[in-house]
């Protein structure tokens, strides 16, 4: 699989996981996904599972720290940091994709309509949540 397809697959996995979290928790808890250079496998890390009492910022810091360790110790091509974002009364899924060459943050606005979560098309921003690479 070429790198563009790998990133597309990662984005789809992130959005599917975020949607499942919205269904279960009503929000997207911070998590990370990593993709490898030498295999088509992807793996997720979600600190909430092991650290349910940590605050929001601590969870994000833990995801970033774990992703940095994976980048250092494994053959990682790309990482994704995903979390719930809120500003001016609107909510969105923050999806930051990083490789050695680039970093980009997309915000996918979402809302609940007729007991179903509706995720809209993304908006790209120039800001980053944090950096892994």
Asked, for residue 130, whether it belongs to a domain, the answer is: no
Number of domains comprising the chain: 1
- Please list the helix, strand and coil fractions of the chain in percent, rounded to the nearest 5, in that order: 35, 35, 30
pLDDT at 110 (0 to 100):
97
CA triple 86-87-92, angle to 5 deg:
40
pLDDT at 4 (0 to 100):
87
Asked, for residue 96, whether it belongs to a domain, the answer is: yes
Asked, for residue 44, whether it belongs to a domain, the answer is: yes
Taking the CA atoms of residue 45, residue 49, residue 51 and residue 54 in that order, the dihedral angle to the nearest 10 degrees is: 90
Contact in structure between 97 and 108 (CB atoms under 8 Å): no
Query: How does pLDDT run across 93-127, given as a tens digit for each residue?
Result: 999 999 999 999 999 999 999 989 999 999 999 88
- Which residues form the domain of 51? 3-125
Task: Say what the pTM is.
Answer: 0.92
Contact in structure between 46 and 34 (CB atoms under 8 Å): no
Asked, for residue 131, whether it belongs to a domain, the answer is: no
Instruction: Note down pLDDT in tens along the chain; length 133 residues.
Output: 788 899 999 999 999 999 999 999 999 999 999 999 988 889 999 877 777 788 888 999 999 999 999 999 999 999 999 999 998 889 999 999 999 999 999 999 999 999 899 999 999 998 898 899 8
Q: How is residue 47 annotated by DSSP?
A: G
Taking the CA atoms of residue 122, residue 126, residue 129 and residue 133 in that order, the dihedral angle to the nearest 10 degrees is: 110
Asked, for residue 133, whether it belongs to a domain, the answer is: no
């Amino acid at each position: 699989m070429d790198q563009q397809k790998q990133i597309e697959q990662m984005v789809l996995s992130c959005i599917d996981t975020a949607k499942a979290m919205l269904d279960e928790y009503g929000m997207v808890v911070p998590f990370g996904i990593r993709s490898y250079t030498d295999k088509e496998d992807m793996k997720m890390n979600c600190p909430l599972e092991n650290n349910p009492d940590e605050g929001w910022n601590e969870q994000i810091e833990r995801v970033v720290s774990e992703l940095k360790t994976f980048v250092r110790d494994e053959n990682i091509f790309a990482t994704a940091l995903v979390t719930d974002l809120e500003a001016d009364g609107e909510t969105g899924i923050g999806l930051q994709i990083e490789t050695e060459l680039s970093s980009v943050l997309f915000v996918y606005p979402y809302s609940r309509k007729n007991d179903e979560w509706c995720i809209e098309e993304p908006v790209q921003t120039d800001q980053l949540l944090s950096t892994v690479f």
